[in-house]
Amino acid sequence: METMSNVITTRIAEYDVQEFIGFEVKHYLENPDEFIDRYEWHRLEGEEVCRVGDLTVKEVTREIIDEIVWKDELLPGDAYQQFEDDMTYFDKYSGETFSIIGTNMGWRNRTGQLDVEVTDGMDLFEAIRVNSDLTFRIWKDSDIEGIYFATMSHHDSPTGEHYELTLKQ
């Protein structure tokens, strides 16, 4: 007899630029008027005089949105700012220490442990981040208090490193 799990996984923060931009594209597909407002002065590729602000809502296509949004150099910064804002969740642990155990780290798939004292939520990310393009997700399960889980993928670990962050008592 199988039992149903009552565990609820709660996303706390994630940094994934491609996913963030994908959400922006989806949002503008549903709200083309906002797309026109934000990118009013951007020129369409191959068009000498046509710019986004010259379009009507009905003329906005997925191709146009993709062309402009994926070139927006500000969106990676917006994605990081959103991530920083979400990581303030851990500010409540200021002065506390977390034990971080990492597995499958780097191209050698190493395992390691590190204690990190939190002054603000980004301390946990900064303790394990690499200097590379990366994606990072951190979450908790409802049935475990004081334990968080994270994954980080990057060039040396494309399938992902795994972390368990435990609040030390």
CB 163 within 8 A of CB 149: yes
Q: What are phi and psi of 106, to 5 degrees?
A: 70, -175
Phi-psi region of 15 (alpha: psi -120 to 50; beta: other; left: phi over 0): beta
Question: CB–CB of 104/159 below 8 Å?
Answer: yes
Rounded average pLDDT over 67-72: 94
Tell me the mean pLDDT in the region 7-32: 94
Residue-level pLDDT at 48: 66
State the pLDDT at residue 6.
Answer: 75
What does pLDDT average to over the chain?
A: 92
The percentage of residues in the chain with a pLDDT greater than 70, rounded to a whole number, is 95
* Interatomic CA distance for residues 52 and 41, integer angstroms: 6
Q: In which band, very low, low, confident or very high, does the pLDDT at 4 lie, cut at 50, 70 and 90?
A: low
Interval 50-62 mean pLDDT: 92
This prediction has a pTM of 0.85
**116-158 per-position pLDDT tens digit:** 999 999 999 999 999 989 999 999 998 778 999 999 999 999 9
Residue range 71-97, pLDDT digits in tens: 999 999 999 999 999 999 999 999 999
8-22, 91-105, 107-121, 141-155: lowest mean pLDDT where? Answer: 141-155
Distance (Å, whole) CA 135 – CA 79? 11
Above 60 in pLDDT, residue 3?
no
